[in-house]
Amino acid sequence: MKNHITITNFTDPVCIWCWGTEPIFRALETHYPNLIEFRYVMGGLVDDINNFSDPGNGIDAGAKGANEQIVAHWLEAAHHHRMPVKPEGFHLFSDEFPSTYPQNIAYKAAQLVDPNKADAYLRRVREATLTEAKVTGNPDVLIELACEVGLERAAFSKALKSKEVEQAFHEDLRLNHAAGVEVFPSFLVESDGEGEPVLLRGYIPYEKFKTVIRSLTQGSLVPTPAPPSKEALQDLLGKHPRLAFEEVFKAFDFASREQAHLFLEDLISKQILIKEEVGPSYFVRMGL
């Protein structure tokens, strides 16, 4: 019997490299079907932007100047991981909304209201922040995004303000500290077999995950082929209704990026898919 793998993602909803990891997760889903469970632990990246400093990425200007610095960092990161980013109109941080804690707490609220929709909500907050320039620190925006993924407005609004959800977020912060997490994303990879859990820090390529999974399972768990097909893509879109090009490219065994573009353009031309351009990249979703 094959081992089952759990990957705990220590993350923040607005972290650019966490966004960049989404294609890696799609590849793991398609190449290890039904064998990997993904868990998310919130990390609280920015308590207060006025006290935040990340000199390695040139971010230290407080509420008034951080947005411009963050966009520059995001665009540089996107050049490497190729996920869509929208710099136009970006104004995430201000004196009124100086923290990413609200987005983290909102995920815990989604877990409380409907655990089956919480991960879709986290994805939607990422999209809204990084590709739509929405101020996701604003509770009104967070509530609207919750409604978009099918969370009940009144229940989510109540949960967002509850002590229970606040305590759940602080428990996540404790888990980060206990695991020795210092950067986002970080990943704790565990097997239900005898292998010792492995903590991976930072942006981790798919090949590294493969190596760790093989080691944890004594070579018993290896990826299966994931050839591109309309049916396979439709199945993936059934789980993730809006996929970036890079996610589709990584999810399936394309010979080249050009082949992946041609594959998608054929489906777009037939109106099987709808294309949504964001900067130099694009999303696809199922046609009506």
pLDDT tens per residue across span 181-198: 999 999 999 999 778 999
- Residue-level pLDDT at 2: 63
User: Is residue 174 in a domain?
Assistant: no
Given 115, 135, 168, which residue is the final one in a domain? 168
236 found inside a domain:
yes
Contact 6, 195 (CB under 8 A): no
Residue 1's pLDDT band (cuts 50, 70, 90): very low
**Cα–Cα distance measured from residue 17 to residue 35, given in angstroms and rounded to the nearest whole number:** 24
Q: What is the CATH number of the domain that holds 254?
A: 1.10.10
Q: What stretches of the chain show up as alpha helix (H) in DSSP?
A: 16-20, 22-31, 62-81, 101-113, 115-131, 139-148, 153-160, 163-179, 206-216, 230-239, 245-251, 257-269
288 or 209, higher pLDDT: 209
Q: What is the mean pLDDT of residues 207-213?
A: 98
- Residue 23 to residue 81: CA distance in whole angstroms: 9
In a domain, 27, yes or no: no
| Residue 61 confidence class, pLDDT cut points 50, 70, 90 | confident
- Residue 22 resides in a domain: no
| H/E stretch holding 283 | strand 281-286
Cβ contact 187:37 at 8 Å = no
Say what percent of the chain tops pLDDT 90. 94
Residues 234 and 163 in one domain: no
DSSP 9-51: EEE-TT-HHHHHTHHHHHHHHHHSTTTEEEEEEE----S-GGG
Residue 134 belongs to domain spanning:
46-168
The answer to whether residue 31 sits within a structural domain is no
Write the CATH number for 71: 1.10.472.60
Number of domains within the chain: 2
Domain for residue 33, yes or no?
Answer: no
Single out the residue in 132, 151, 168 at which a domain terminates: 168
Distance CA 215, CA 212 (A): 5
Residue 206 lies inside a defined structural domain of this protein: no
Q: Are residues 56 and 164 in the same domain?
A: yes
Evaluate the omega torsion of the peptide bond into residue 98 and state whether it is cis, within 30 degrees of 0: no
How far is 78 from 72, CA to CA, in rounded Å? Answer: 10
Residue 243 placed within a domain:
yes
